[in-house]
Structure 1
């Protein structure tokens, strides 16, 4: 039985590893051209083809995987003048971005009228996990559609969870990121308070690591705090702010009080507002420390 043709949009930090696993596991793959040529050329060397625009990508594919920044980019890729829908053919689009659930539901309804099915399958874990094919995937969509795309998701996902109808995956992703960005804000404030009192990050870590408050997120966060390893946790602060802004919009629409979410969003907004949006999430700890007149790197 021949495998369906896969198109991929967004071969960045996460997308390159995902696409690499798809092509290396035998799926016919076409990627959308990108300003950053290095990941595109690497994938082409592994057997992928390249499309010059989203319309050409749609013409060459049966299933499209999208892994971009958020909803505005997804909408442009799908509905733009040279977008996926302009190919005028049936498609299955799987949005692995962290998108606004309300946008996802609306876009799915619009595309359905053009014989295009949109489901959401956002991700958790790191670019390293994407390279290793061990991502967590939260997938929302009709059961039969999810069954169709499941083997493709297995190419890069180790743990795949069905969350419900289209849009529910992105909702769950926002809740997941609320927890993770919340951890980042808590760790950062705790470290600054400790530094004010003369407690070093090493002492802090010696108490937390291996205890009940330890977790995988803590460990990658502290790879930066203790070892200054920039590669350990590559998720930009500006993307954290974007996700927390989506959460705020979701909470407002649902008429749910979300005071902790607002506090976490403000921590990220402050970091981005000081010009540090391209820094990675663990670096929030340094920003909070600096604003409080202390350093986490002094012995």
Structure 2
């Protein structure tokens, strides 16, 4: 049986850690925040020596944080580092090459499904790395993911996640704009969403995000605006390296960056709906 550890016990990490703990695979977990450690709800058998496991899963903001953590770490031959972040494929490749010299394997396993998916073990993983390594860690991946897609060599998973997120977040902002116009026209927003879901404009945003997290009044999509801005900054960098196109990517990034600049970085991103008109006006004014 393989042993696992999780580094990063935030909204996504704690659900992943709990799933592995319940399966008897988790031996260690760590978060720099004592509150996150205390609130993770893990069994007493789990300790904090998170680099002692066969498979070390990082659920931190980006590959840069993983590289810092592993800079002077005593890794051992045969360990597998699983990078569950949203990061740039160039950073993935650089880290993979560095730890390969210590006999360690690296898999970029970018995820989608949100915190609810992490809690339920129903994430979708977009993976880059060697097929035999992914097969070797499958018992752990099976506990946290409902679907896995091996996209290619190291970096391919992160490339796919940037494509996924630039589409998802751009669609979210477009939906916010459209429903803001519906509201201004005197239309009932709940009814407008029902119409979208009955037609060809439906998406995860209209079918799940708006009804569950916004129209319900919950206003809790379980992620910060700063996280979306970081993802779109990476997507813009990625698109530029590919020589575009990047029109929607760059516009969405500018909207999110403006929200962060206005001090809303720590705000749950569900509130972007109420900010949409002001943000678009701010971008338009900057262009005029």
TM over 0.5: yes
Query: 1:153 Cα deviation (Å)?
Result: 0.8
Indicate whether 1:251 and 2:239 are aligned: yes
Contact kept in structure 2, 1:19 and 1:43, CA below 8 Å: no
Aligned structure 1 segments of 4 or more residues deviating by more than 6 angstroms: none
SS, match of residue 147 in structure 2: strand
- CA separation of 1:266/1:73 partners in 2, compared to 1, >3 Å: closer, same or farther? same
Equivalent pairs, count: 279
Measure, in 2, the Cα distance between the counterparts of 1:247 and 1:178: 6
Segments of 5+ residues of structure 2 without an aligned counterpart are 282-288
Change (3 A) 1:38 1:9: closer
> Would you say the 8 A contact 2:6–2:28 is kept in 1?
yes
In structure 1, what is the Cα distance between the partners aligned to 2:65 and 2:223?
18
Gaps of at least 5 residues in structure 1 are 52-56, 294-299
Farther off after superposition, 129-138 or 203-212: 203-212
Determine the structure 1 residue equivalent to 2:81.
Answer: 93
Contact 1:4 1:28 in 2 (8 A): no
Partner of 1:4: 2
| 1:83-122 superposed matches below 5 A | 86-90=73-77, 91-122=79-110
1:296 aligned partner? none
Counterpart residue number, 1:64: 56
Does 2:216 match 1:224?
no
Tell me the equivalent position of 2:159: 171
Contact 1:97 1:121 in 2 (8 A): yes
What TM-score, normalized to structure 2? Answer: 0.90
Residue equivalent to 1:19: 17
CA shift digits 1:228-286 (9 cap, x unpaired): 1133x212111111011101111112222311111111111121121111122221111
Cα displacement (A) at 1:207? 1.3
The TM-score normalised by the length of structure 1 is 0.87
How big is each residue's C-alpha offset from its partner over 1:37-95, in whole Å with a ceiling of 9 and x where there is no partner?
355454443632223xxxxx22x21110001111321221222x4xxxx2142221010
Alignment CA distance shift 1:40-1:162 (3 Å): farther
Aligned-partner SS, 1:49:
coil
State the SS of the aligned residue for 1:227.
coil
Structural RMSD (CA): 1.9
